[in-house]
Structure 1
Amino acid sequence: MKNLPLHIKIVIGLIFGVIWAFISSFLGWNAFTINWIDPFGAIFIRLLKFIAVPLVLFSIIGGISGLTDVSKLGRMGGKTLGLYLITTIVAVLIGLLFVNVAKPGMSLDKEQRIKNRLVFEKWAGENGVSIPDGKNFLANPEYKIQADKLEIDNLSEKDKQSVAQKMKDANSTKDASPLQFIVEMVPENIMLSISDNKLMLQVIFFAIFFGVVLVLLPAETVAPVIDFINAINQVFLKMVDLVMKASPFFVFALLAGVIAKMADTPGEVLEIFIGLGSYSITLVLGLFFMVFIFYPLVIKIFVRKLSYKEFFKNISPAQFLAFSTSSSAATLPVTMECIEDNMGVSKNVSSFVLPIGATVNMDGTSLYQAVAVVFLAQLHMVDLSFTQQMTIVLTATLASIGAAATPSAGLVMMIIVLQSVGLNPAWVAIIFPVDRILDMCRTVVNITGDATVSTIIAKSEGELKKYV
């Protein structure tokens, strides 16, 4: 058992979590599961949440500060970051398009979705979180029977005051300036922003600003700062690594607890996994669209002599490795070899563009976050508005910059995106059973995007030896 790869252990944990969920619901042990097993899942979420903010902060600063020679690489750096930003935004928009058309969360039985909604409203009331769509199922007589079965009491006076204040804030927001959203991205006190997970956009803004200033200052002046940033970033990456070593047990506890709260009978558990099948198909279709339609089309526009077949032949070794490792960083040496030897991109371009891509370009992860967040909202009968979905676009785009190029990094970023639209971060456990195989698919999209951007940059800089 000790010699098994971590991802195999996680899969085993997932399987045991599902098996336990069926046994627990069949034997009526859900109360035991919730009281004695689920808390370990809560610990897992807490560990990931406290790592998320510093990981994003130092990853972004470290990535941007890598653009040290502005006089030589300024133009290429601008093109690189600009193209990565564009492809990431496109990926999120494609994800939102697919999930809003397919509506995979609607495949679950309506009664189960109503139950999910009531549980969500109870959680929101207990945590002082405003309901994203402003609806109140708990107060609706139509759902009183279901609410009574869940033993959900009316909101306390404190919770009622909190909801009233949230509604007041929402009304005042309608009258605010159209640029108020941008204003709120700029922190007043970065320490307060770091201490509040809801202010992640302010942390990202600070990190970008800090990284740009490091680039503008003399290299010898900021070298100690950059070394410190890179070193502490490694510390937090190691924290993620250590947490993930214990993840098989945590995943078992988290999945068993979440399902126990959602399903009282084996039939209800089965309904949950039917919904996951629709979600997986929707996500895979979106990822396939990126790999087999979007990237080849972009390449064809900029590099006309590179055929569709040659494009995939040139980068297929890196794609297969990315699928097996689920890590852009682990695949980076092979990606560079494919781009230099097969695609004809010069080493000057590949050695600059691809490492940045492994840090800031997470198209597959961003698309996954968009699909997963809306799917989870649909699963709980939460209607996200256009503005809230645009918040997903912005948060997923910016958060992907700080996503580590390692397996499970998307899990940390998913928590941030869920929180940005007022959803329960513990919902990440719902998609755990199918996340590993989907993570492999997402990584293929990530490195294909890196290869596409580096080829386009090389073409624009006259550094493409083939297909000219």
Structure 2
Amino acid sequence: MKRIPLYLQIVIALIIAVIVGVLLGAGKPILSKDIIEHLALPSTLILKALRTLATPLIFLAIIHTFLTAEIPSNSGRKLSILLVTNTLVAIGIGLLVANGLRPGAGGQSLATSSTTQSTVKQLDPWGLIADIIPDSILKPLVDNNVISLIFVALSFAIILRAIKTEQIKNNRQEYLSIEQGVGILFEAVIGILHWVIALVPIAVFGIVAKTIAIQGFAPFKALGSFVVAVIIALLLQAAYYLTRVKLGSWVSPVQFLTGGSDALITAFSTASSTATMPITFNALIEKVGLRESSASLGALVGSNFNNDGTALYEAMSALFISQVLGQNLTLVQQVMVMLTSIVASVGAAGIPEAGLVTMTLVFTSVGLPTEYIAILITVDWFLDRCRTAINVMGDMTVSAIIDGKQQKFPDETIAIVPIE
């Protein structure tokens, strides 16, 4: 029996939740509010599970990505600059649109009485530096300390990559056991995450039914504004990509879009950069006409690091919730959101519902209550598809720029990777 796709389950849960919310009063609850509040219990438990999995997942993802990514030394620097630049621009666009449109300014009805008075962390630069090195290696995993977690993960990733490189030069293979061990642990955590993600429709039903029953439909107007703001930001990022392709590659923007249409449509349909990867690779070679080496760097290597749409979405989500709470993030805090979003997006391509998982780290980094992620789940199923398409478009852009302004000669060989 074919399983119903997750996005369709969420849509069905939304429809049922609206019906139940209306039956329970639609703003004039016919039952005790305390009883109706219990509908949100599944979302609380699921968010707690996501928060629990977030730190080990990102820790393992960073190490796994650094260990397994194959980056040619002669292209590594250019690739790194492109990836960092694209991500910085994406987050910058997200913050600019969120600050300009302020989609959460009219969403005070989304704030719950228990957290309306909570305060966003006031960052202390010296304290931030002091927190970089944890008291113990396991402490960041226990405390969800983002800065310490990133420091420990990057330290292990860089040194393990250096050991692997040295052993390969000396024809040694001891590194394989570590690489395989990290891979198995990463797959194990992903497996547990799949269990949690399978319960997301129940969380959506509970939070929507509860909200409509107690407050009616007014709270969701702000979510509509947020969706529009995110789409505008993603379109601006797409325009940035097309400009980069126009100025830095021999490929025309029209050829870029028509040739990569299969990959972009697949990304939107599956909401998975990993599932789209072979289609992106083949489209870049067969339809766009890039060299195999350029296509592999962007579509196969860059996809592990290049998650611009996800980083943009997380930054906008943090600002949206801070606006809902009436506690606007300062410039320093927004920089913190930017840095956390960049690092948290590393390796996110292979994580299901990566935006929801890494968002717990972004929120924690500036002291925003993670319970509000439950509200964003109601629209995340759609925005996930939009940002995945932008992630794939970013991979394609990197490939086109690396290919340069000189088109390949007709007699250059092309290796096609079959799609299974």
TM tier, smaller: 0.7 to 0.9
Query: Map of 1:61-460 to 2, 5 A cutoff?
Result: 61-67=63-69, 73-108=72-107, 112=109, 116=111, 118-121=113-116, 124=118, 131-132=119-120, 173=124, 177=126, 181-182=128-129, 184-197=131-144, 199-217=145-163, 218-219=167-168, 220-257=173-210, 259=211, 264-266=214-216, 270-291=217-238, 293-303=239-249, 305-459=250-404
Q: 1: distance between equivalents of 2:202 and 2:9?
A: 9
Letter aligned with residue 100 of structure 2: V
Deviations 1:156-210 (A, max 9, x none): xxxxxxxxxxxxxx6xx3xx65xx645533434221111111x122212222222
Aligned equivalent of 2:416 = none
Aligned equivalent of 2:10 = 10
Deviations 1:338-368 (A, max 9, x none): 1122233333343344223332211111111
Contact 2:272 2:349 in 1 (8 A): no
1:81–1:20 CA distance, 2 compared to 1 (3 A)? farther
Aligned partner of residue 368 in structure 1, secondary structure:
helix
The structure in which a higher percent of residues are helix is: 1
Contact 1:84 1:357 in 2 (8 A): yes
Contact 1:346 1:465 in 2 (8 A): no
1:231–1:78 CA distance, 2 compared to 1 (3 A)? farther
Contact 1:360 1:400 in 2 (8 A): yes
Q: 1:121 deviation in Å?
A: 4.1
Q: 1: distance between equivalents of 2:271 and 2:330?
A: 33
Q: Which runs of 5+ in 1 are unaligned?
A: 125-130, 135-169
Q: Which runs of 5+ in 2 are unaligned?
A: 413-420
Aligned partner of residue 120 in structure 1, secondary structure:
coil
> TM-score with structure 1 length normalisation?
0.79
1:254–1:402 CA distance, 2 compared to 1 (3 A)? farther
Contact 2:59 2:150 in 1 (8 A): yes
Q: 1:419 deviation in Å?
A: 1.2
1:464–1:232 CA distance, 2 compared to 1 (3 A)? farther
1:77–1:275 CA distance, 2 compared to 1 (3 A)? same
1:77–1:392 CA distance, 2 compared to 1 (3 A)? same
Equivalent residue pairs, number: 401
Q: 1:27 deviation in Å?
A: 3.1
Contact 1:84 1:453 in 2 (8 A): yes
Aligned equivalent of 1:163 = none
Q: 1: distance between equivalents of 2:205 and 2:134?
A: 38
Greater CA drift, 233-242 or 351-360: 351-360
Q: 1:2 deviation in Å?
A: 6.8
Contact 1:349 1:454 in 2 (8 A): yes
Aligned partner of residue 345 in structure 1, secondary structure:
coil
Contact 1:340 1:350 in 2 (8 A): yes
Question: Over aligned residue pairs, what C-alpha RMSD do you find?
Answer: 2.5
Greater CA drift, 92-101 or 184-193: 184-193
Greater CA drift, 77-86 or 99-108: 77-86
Q: 1: distance between equivalents of 2:58 and 2:389?
A: 22
Q: 1: distance between equivalents of 2:403 and 2:202?
A: 46
Deviations 1:273-296 (A, max 9, x none): 1111111111100001111x1001
